[in-house]
Amino acid sequence: MTDRARHSLARLVEAHYEELRAFVRRRVGSASAAQDVVQETWLRVAAEPAERAPEPPRPLAQARAYIYRVAGNLAIDRLRRDRLELRHGAGLPLPLEQPGTEPGPDRVVAAREEMAILRQAIQELPERCRDAFLLYRGEGLTMRETALRLGISEKTVEKHVAKAMLHCRRRLAEAGIEP
69 with 139, same domain?
no
User: Please, which residues have CB within 8 angstroms of residue 139's CB and are 6 or more apart in sequence?
Assistant: 11, 12, 15, 60
Q: Which domain holds residue 150?
A: 105-174
Q: What is the CATH number of the domain that holds 49?
A: 1.10.1740
Q: Which of 34, 61, 88 is the last residue of a domain?
A: 88
113 with 49, same domain?
no
State the Cα–Cα distance between residues 25 and 157, nearest whole angstrom. 36
Residue pLDDT tens, the chain, 179 long: 555 565 677 788 888 888 888 998 888 888 888 888 888 888 887 776 544 555 544 566 788 888 889 898 988 888 888 777 666 655 555 455 455 556 667 777 777 888 888 889 989 999 999 999 888 877 777 888 899 999 999 999 989 988 998 998 888 889 887 75
State the Cα–Cα distance between residues 164 and 159, nearest whole angstrom. 9
Structurally, the chain folds into a number of domains equal to 2
State the Cα–Cα distance between residues 159 and 143, nearest whole angstrom. 11
Query: Would you say residue 118 lies in a domain?
Result: yes
84 with 14, same domain?
yes
113 with 77, same domain?
no
Q: What is the pLDDT of residue 55?
A: 52
Q: Which of 37, 62, 88 is the last residue of a domain?
A: 88
Q: What is the pLDDT of residue 127?
A: 94
